Chain A
Amino acid sequence: MAIIQLKHYKKLSYGGSSKNSLMPLPKEIITMAETATIITFRPLESRQKITVLKDMHACKRLDMLPDTDLVFYSVESDSPLAPLLFWDAVHFMSVGRRIMLTGDYVKESYLLRSYFQRSLIVEKQDADGLVLRKVAPLPAEKDAGKNAWTFGIPVGPEDATLLNVVVRRILELDLPHKEILLCGRPGENFHYWDQVRIVGEDITAPPVQICAKKNRLAQEATHENLCILHDRVFLPKQFDKAVKKFGEFYPMTTFQSLYFDDRFNFVPRRYSDFNIAPKIAAMSALGIMRNNDVAATSPVSPSVLPLTDGEGFYYGNPLRYVPSSYLTGSLYLVKRSVWLICPQDENLFWTEFEDLDHGKRAEAMGIPSRINPHAITQSLIARPLLSVHGAVFYESRNGTLEQYRPALEAFPIPRKPLMKILHRQMQDNLARFSSKYVLNAVMMPLPSSAGLNTTLRLKALVQATHCIKVPIQRKALMALIIDYEKLLVLDQLPYSRREYLMMHFLEHGNKAIRGLVSESDQLLNHASQRPRKEIFAGTLLDYLPSVSPIIYIGTFISATLLILGNRKALYFPSGFLGCYRSIIDTTPFSYYAKEKK
């Protein structure tokens, strides 16, 4: 038997394990080492042979514990990483073994949450601690060690160019058993009809019922290892190695994600992987979900979304763990059984913080969200809303809020399109908006060049919005703002902004028109990201870079800057080379759009 002392990775500022930082391990606990393995952050008063596990952080797994009974001394009180450590310990522990938690000052132990209830039974619970016995395997242990994966993608009926890229990459993955499920019928130009199974065609849209689609994918999956991804997520070539390296019994897991805003990999942005929302738990304004269940009030119910919006969401740090961590829905690596215990709430639709709600409920059940750092994904497209002037806010290693902005963000490097909208679609949208709202008497001819550059686009938008006539009536204003968002801005407006515009119209009437363009943060964001051209796509192939020597130079510079600079917004355990390789392996080159024979 052994005593294992854990030490936090120093740069996390989580607190040390020396005698200056923590009280020593009590003698009566040390005596327990004869029959069990003691795990603690506490130092020992006397010299004794112990195992020290240094540099503990959220990406490190506690999978090397001996097969004995376990005693965790004051781990929940001493470390924010406790939920992850408990998760690993109880999953890697054999059935029949006991786990004792003692020395803690917590109201209710993490291991008493509902996820663990059927497998861990309470043998003793008093002021001294809690003793649990593992009587059955936990849900995440089902089919452990079986290398078979189901990849589930919720899709819509639009152009399948980018979906082809995503599916071709999955087909390339070196996995002995894999299955690809699409929830919904893709566009006619989809190449791989015979290699996928289509489910959930009965799920209607709009609104996009993304939760219903993801739940259906989990229900229909054949394999226990489930990877639910959006049709813009380009998986790493070394997917198999990365998941094996991370180990079995993973909870809700994802890879870090990048989006290169330019065509040569010079401008890496962190894009939609793993967030934290620390203030949501304390939110006092709650609403009722669409099923009108008054017992399940929530801070993400549709009626309070403008308030939820203002609470602040930041990218999480892969090395830290906070209870408000959640995966942003782009990619889930999760066991099917775990998903089915905690499915997404079908009362919520896309962009209604369904991912946040899911993460929050999972955490409350005892299923943490974490990062597998051994690979990254790249997003094929990006919504401008998620990068404010090219920057994102994230939790740094030491827990402060920092801004991450690529070093070459402002430089005039050829860019990918800002929005997944074609030039002619933009022109059609502008015409539809004008015909619906602009008074005939003041209607000006729409410039056919409005989508060509930012100045012309803004000019057309100023003219269109200043000429509208709209009743200051709730229903009509709601319709106007939805059309303004979908037909003019072409980017999602934050819920708080929608609410602000409605109230501005109500209070100031005509003057509110100014808020639509000249005071629009969204359009300012578009203009700062694309001051000249490259706002709209000619074709969706514009998002896929071609193979060229410059792309390798760009990747080299990006990898260097990601490792050395940029305040460590991302974590690459294998250093510069690992980072460089990960980026090259996940670059969605244009040949991926062609059919793989």
Chain B
Amino acid sequence: MNLAVISGNGWLHHQNAVHALLLRLAATKSTDAIVLDFDVISREVIQINAAGNQLDEMSTSALTGYVPFAKWMKDSRLAEDVIDTNAILSTATMIPAENIVIIDARNYGLELILSALEKARLAWYPLDTWHPTFAVIADDVYLLRLLPVLASTFYSQPQVLSERETRLIVKALMRRAFIYRWFGPRGGRTIEAIEKTMLSFIGVKE
């Protein structure tokens, strides 16, 4: 499933261009997370106009996974604890597997969208087949803050560690291994507990 964050402004003015982009993206079967900002959408508009392309019926049927964010809210009020988990679960199962999911979250705060995405991870988790694309339309100001979160909502993403970071992880593990080797499971656990207490006493966090 590829992931997209769509400019709310672009969606408002050029829905057809966004549709065209999403369909092309879905066809790639990649697992990337991309941003479709206003510039990208504008360029698509120019290309469509130049080629005179129109979306055919088959293609538009793949776009029927449009869900207004208000449907994921209990009673459409902006307040704490208003995310409707059941609605998110039913979105995941009700939208046919071949359709693109588009969540229209324009005019909603970032925090609310992020907590809804956490629930979305739970909703999509048991599905054997994921939708080809999961897109979120958001206010332009949030696009770049939303994108990395969306990327790691549905995928555990790779992290490139420096040589030093790698060495530190291995060193810490080997140090613990040394303690357990010489003191056994019971002794090792006791020493680790003492160490933790001492570190917290002098105010060092792990």
On A, residues with C-beta under 8 Å from B are 388-391, 403, 405, 409-410, 438-439, 442, 454-455, 458-459, 462-463, 466-475, 505-506, 509-510, 512-513, 517-518, 523-525, 527-529, 531
Contact = CB atoms under 8 A, between A and B. Distances in A.
B43 interface: no
B173 A527 contact: yes
Interface stretch (B17-25, B97-105, B149-157): B149-157
Nearest to B167: A459
A525 B31 CA distance: 36
Contact of B122 (A442, A455, A506): A506
Contacts of A527: 173-174, 176-177
A410 B182 contact: yes
Contacts of B154: 471-473
B181 A467 contact: no
29 contacts: A389-B181, A389-B184, A390-B184, A391-B186, A403-B185, A410-B181, A458-B173, A458-B174, A462-B169, A462-B170, A463-B161, A467-B160, A471-B154, A472-B124, A472-B153, A472-B154, A473-B125, A474-B126, A506-B125, A509-B121, A509-B153, A510-B156, A510-B157, A510-B159, A518-B172, A524-B173, A528-B188, A529-B181, A531-B181
Contacts of A474: 125-126, 128
B185 A473 contact: no
Contacts of B124: 472-473
A529 B157 CA distance: 32
A459 B125 contact: no
B151 to A, nearest CB: 10
Contacts, number: 121
Contacts of B1: 471
A438 B161 contact: no
B158 interface: yes
Contact of B178 (A466, A468, A517, A531): A531
Interface of B: 1, 31, 121-122, 124-128, 130, 152-161, 166-167, 169-170, 172-174, 176-178, 180-182, 184-186, 188
Contacts of A467: 158-160
Nearest to A402: B186
B160 A442 contact: yes
A459 B122 contact: no
Nearest to B161: A466
A462 B181 CA distance: 21
B131 to A, nearest CB: 12
Nearest to B160: A442
A469 B154 CA distance: 10
A454 B169 contact: no
B31 A528 contact: no
A442 B157 CA distance: 11
Contacts of B153: 472, 509
Contact of B130 (A390, A454, A470, A471): A471
Given A410-B181, A506-B121, A471 B31 contact: yes
A458 B172 CA distance: 11
A469 B130 contact: no
State the 8 A-B residue pairs at the shortest beta-carbon distance, nearest first.
A527-B177, A528-B180, A528-B177, A528-B181, A389-B180, A467-B158, A458-B170, A405-B184
A466 B158 contact: yes
Contacts of A390: 181, 184
A104 to B, nearest CB: 39
Contacts of B122: 506
A262 B158 CA distance: 39
A466 to B, nearest CB: 5
A510 B152 contact: yes
Contacts of A442: 158, 160
Contacts of B172: 518
A518 B127 CA distance: 30
B150 to A, nearest CB: 11
Nearest to B176: A524
A472 B174 contact: no
Given A442-B158, A471-B130, A531-B177, 7 more contacts: A389-B188, A442-B160, A472-B125, A506-B122, A509-B121, A523-B173, A531-B174
A372 to B, nearest CB: 30
A449 to B, nearest CB: 14
B185 A388 contact: yes
A512 B156 CA distance: 8
A473 B126 CA distance: 6
Contacts of A466: 158-161
Contact of A473 (B130, B161, B166): B130
A409 B121 contact: no
Nearest to A514: B169
A463 B159 CA distance: 9
A518 B185 contact: no
A453 B108 CA distance: 54
Nearest to B171: A455
Contacts of A517: 169, 173
Given A409-B184, A467-B158, A506-B122, A528 B152 contact: no
A534 to B, nearest CB: 13
B127 A473 contact: yes
A463 B161 CA distance: 7
A469 B160 CA distance: 12
A297 B174 CA distance: 43
A525 B159 CA distance: 25
A524 B180 contact: yes
Contacts of A475: 128
A513 B177 contact: no
Nearest to B182: A410
Contacts of B188: 389, 528
A455 B181 contact: no
Contacts of B184: 389-391, 403, 405, 409
A439 B156 CA distance: 11
